[in-house]
Amino acid sequence: MTELIAVVTITLLAVISPGPDFAMVSRNSLLLSRRAGVLTACGIGAGVLIHVSYTLIGVGVLIQQSLWLFNLIKGLGAAYLIYLGVKLLRNAATHDVSPGAPQAALSDLAALKTGFLTNVLNPKTTIFIVSLFMQVVAPHTPLGVQLGYGLFIAAVHVLWFGAVALLFSAPGVNARFLRLRKKGIDRAFGGLLIAFGALLALAGIK
């Protein structure tokens, strides 16, 4: 019972902490649509399942003990976040940003892929899940229970970020944010993603 409480508590605290996942869901919900935001959240949940899968089959131990492999993951994550940030900044500079201007559509697959890649290349999630299963979940915990934990963690990510998508796409909230102008929103989220990526890159160098 103590193990379950620890898993639930740590998961909730980790999920609600701000990061690239939050930035992408918020941005897609504000500027595109509720559907795009929710699908981005679903992609994040799929990314979490990848982290859980490689942890359960033992790759998590290798990542934890191999400095070069972990630094490679951090490098890829940093590069992807900087790429997304630059893309948003370029989008702000080249697209019509008047209040009534239509935004470029994002396909369902593209929204899922954005959420998936943002999460699966996020070393923060790697550290969280590997540490949780290596240090909190006991080695003798049945595999079925561990799988249940993994599904719970993925479900919490989808539910939390789905709620974020619903909040930011609600007409009243959406209208208030869009008063900041769409160009400003893309610039803000683009700058945040570049900052996240730069911090990861600097941590990798150190």
Least confident of 68-82, 132-146, 149-163: 68-82
Q: In the chain, how many H helices and how many E strands? A: 10, 0
Nearest by Cα to 36 from 91, 90, 153, 114: 114
Q: What is the pLDDT of residues 1-13, one digit of tens each?
A: 788 888 889 899 8
pTM for the full model? Answer: 0.79
Distance of alpha carbon 88 from alpha carbon 71, whole angstroms: 26
Q: What is the pLDDT of residues 145-195, one digit of tens each?
A: 889 999 999 999 999 999 999 998 888 877 777 666 566 777 777 787 788
Contacts of 134 (CB under 8 A, 6+ apart): 55, 60, 61, 64
Contacts of 129 (CB under 8 A, 6+ apart): 48, 51, 52, 55, 60, 153
Distance of alpha carbon 97 from alpha carbon 75, whole angstroms: 33
